[in-house]
Amino acid sequence: MTNELSNIDETNYELAEVMDVADYIQAPMPDVRDYDLTPIQLNAAQAVLINDMTLKKRGVTRKTYIQLAADLGISHDTLQRYRALPEFSRFIRDGAQLAVSSSVPMAITRLHQLADGSFGTPSIKALEMILEMTGVYSKSQKHEISHQYAAPVQVSDAELQRIIDANK
């Protein structure tokens, strides 16, 4: 995180900026105007979101919340209080949802590559998933029972099982 984070004056309300950090899943951040948080709380929420989405790979590590708090110029206890705020949690949840949504095209592309054998043997599971996504195939079966009686009818478990078996 940058030193600019620690220089934010909580009384001077400005829109928080998305921090530019390499090696995190780069998805759009939620619109900060949709959240009832102070600028420092918004920056803390962005920092937590970016840190939590940092990919674990060689040479890249996530920061601890103590380190994040220090970068933000606040105490660890203050960051913990912020994290307990419903609006803060909503920002994190919405940001994660945006990241997931922006990853869908990549996931579908990878699924197609697995299905067509781009990485070796074609994957039956990938083919099955594509067919399920398009509604062509389903592992589960739906059973419907209709009756032509005007009044409700009570049926024992054994009789219900017999009806289900007869309609397979």
Q: What is the pLDDT of residues 100-125, one digit of tens each?
A: 888 888 888 888 888 888 888 888 88
In sequence order, which residues have a C-beta less than 8 Å from that of residue 138 and are 6 or more positions away?
A: 132
> What's the pLDDT at 143?
65
**Does residue 98 or residue 17 have the better pLDDT?**
98
Predicted confidence (pLDDT) per residue in 27-79, tens digit = 578 888 889 999 999 999 999 998 888 777 667 788 889 999 999 999 999 99
**Does residue 54 or residue 128 have the better pLDDT?**
128
Quick one: which of 18, 70, 75 has its CA closest to 49? 18
In sequence order, which residues have a C-beta less than 8 Å from that of residue 41 and are 6 or more positions away?
A: 82, 85, 87, 88
- Give the C-alpha separation, 119 to 97, whole Å: 29
> What's the pLDDT at 7?
45
Q: Which 3 state secondary structure label does DSSP give 77?
A: helix
> What's the pLDDT at 40?
93
Query: What's the chain's average pLDDT?
Result: 79
> What's the pLDDT at 58?
67
- One-letter identity of residue 45: A
Burial of 110 (0-12, 13-18, 19+ CB in 10 A): middle
